[in-house]
Structures are given as structure tokens and as C-alpha cells.
Structure 1
């Protein structure tokens, strides 16, 4: 079997978001650009789009040392602001996920708890969106932030103690 679930102990970088909702496609675009970056062989980059259930099952099936979720996330900062946040995986509630396409990191982590899996370490490389509406394409501010996020992810995985 190939893919994210087949590399236990490695790093999974998961680009998430909906390309039909403007800046929500940020994580997908970062994953696309990372596909052209030479990364260590124990790093898997995958575009999960809106497939939250698929991501949860891949995380439960493999024992990644580090998972990096890349997503547009509103925090009230200036559009295009990129940040890295360590997510708390130890205090998740096992709640059923009613939306198989839900990609919010908290929904995915709750689904993992329901599956009886606690990931070792999860980081979110997020970007403040400018526009999340029914249109394709990133806003100029978020488009400029993609390169910053690619550099941040590259640094995180190359400096990760494996």
C-alpha cells in the first residue's frame, strides 16, 4: 500500500480546504506547491481537499511522529498572515462526525478520538483568509502567503527530529 498510511513514524503534511470557496483553498495550493519541493523521504505531502474522513482514517492507520495540517483559519489577523500553532490532541472528545466532508481540524481530531487514536504531535500551518465565498482562486494576500507557508512547512519537516 502506498500513500500517507504506509509511512509510520514519518511526517504527514495534509493540505486541506475547499478550492471552490476562495481562500479556503489555501491548504490545497500549499500541498500542490510542496509537491515540487525536495523533502526527506519520510515526509508525505497529500492534498486532502474536503475529505476529512479520509484524513482521519489515514491518521489512525499510521503512527506519524508529526502531522502538519495546512489550512485557511480565521483568527482575526490581517489577511495573508501565516502562523504555526501546536494543537492539543490529548483532550479531544470522541464525538461522532456527521459531515463526512468536514475538514476543520477540530472535527478531524474528534473523529480520531472516536476511532480511539491520539496522534503524537499535530501542528497547524494556518493563513488568515481574506475571502471565503463561492468562487475559485485565492485572494492576492493569501496567494502571496502560499510561499511563506511552503517555506514554513519545509523548515518544520527538515528540522524535525526523526
Structure 2
């Protein structure tokens, strides 16, 4: 019960900080405040791809695992995550190298600031005390790039 309360608090805080994704400043908690159903834009069995710039990072969630990658660790580090869907978005939480990691995703639109590609969701990744902003989208499972499949061999380079 305590873990669920902590996940709700973490999701609320992270969703509130999604404004760094160049979203409208008037964007508050999305949806009808009287509707208490969980956000369903990203189904539990979906592949989710998220990334951010300055600093560069990527994450891929698939089959209950999240792979977090950086330019220093392009193969990424894969960890099991738990999923929480609230009214304002979805989050994935786990532990990586002794630090808590939470990826929170909510309704966009979002711009990565480097490409003309629109992203449907904003993303915030918290690794320990570090908070990174980015964008997210549903994936196909066949993405290439820094975030690799959970079967990837982990790198020994420490995470930033």
C-alpha cells in the first residue's frame, strides 16, 4: 500500500514537470477531473520509446523491462519495472545500480527540439536525484538506436 502511494506521488510530481517538453504552459492535469479511470493511451502490453536531449538519453519499455541508454552506454542497462497508470499518464519504476529510476509519460504533444518529428507524449525520467526531460511514443518493438532490447549485454561504464 505504501509503495502504491509513493508511486502515485512520484507520478504526480513527474507529470507536473513535463513542461520542459515545450508543451503549452496552460496544460494542467489532462482530462475530465471527474473521470477517475486510468489513462489508456499506452496499453500495458505496448512497447514504449522515449528519448531526450541535453543530455542525450533513451529508454525503451517492453515486456516489463526498461532499457536506459546514454551515449556513454549505448547498449544500455536493462532493469525490471513496475507499471502504474493514473489519470494523467503512466509511469514505470525500478532500480538501477542502487538508484531509483522512474519514467513518467503523459499526454503531449512534445518536441525534442532537434527534429521536426512530432511526439504524442511528454516524458520525464528520474534517476536518483537527476531529472531528465524528453518525449515518448508507442513503439513497434523493432526500433534501433541507443536503447536496445533487454537481451543486450550490460556495459560496465557507470551511469552519469
Calculate the TM-score normalised by the size of structure 2: 0.28
The structure in which a higher percent of residues are strand is 2
Q: Which has the higher contact order (CA 8 A, sep 6+)?
A: 1
The structure in which a higher percent of residues are helix is 1
